[in-house]
Amino acid sequence: AVDPGRPGESSVLPRRREESVSGDEPQAKRPRFRNYLPDSPSLREFFQPPALPPAPAAESNPYAAELERLDRDDDGAVTIVPKDPTWDLKRDLDPKLALLGRRTQRSIVDLIRARLRATDDD
């Protein structure tokens, strides 16, 4: 059938289901179960195992040889060390602690000077 809505174009529309089978009754759609196995024995014949993705070719990965070497050399231990859970607190408090450290040192020096003055007066 030609699409009459667009003059000058002769795009062919898909046939209707009734027209697709020459004179016969239209075929009913068959259910396909890909995600689970139906409980009903009459529906189990329509079960299809899920499709698996194709295996990647070794040539497609430029790091395949290095990964294989690392797998052979790996002793099974994970060498990734997580970040300290309090790293953000340390980052935020370091400037304040530095200021407090300087004030503490100055106070200690003042206390020592006061003791020295007290011993000199005696």
Residues of the chain with pLDDT > 90, as a percent, come to 23
Contact 38, 47 (CB under 8 A): yes
- 5-9, 37-41, 51-55, 56-60: least confidently modelled range: 5-9
Positive or negative torsion for Cα 23, 28, 34, 38: negative
Contact 109, 117 (CB under 8 A): no
Q: Is 97 a residue whose pLDDT tops 90?
A: yes
Q: Is 7 a residue whose pLDDT tops 70?
A: no
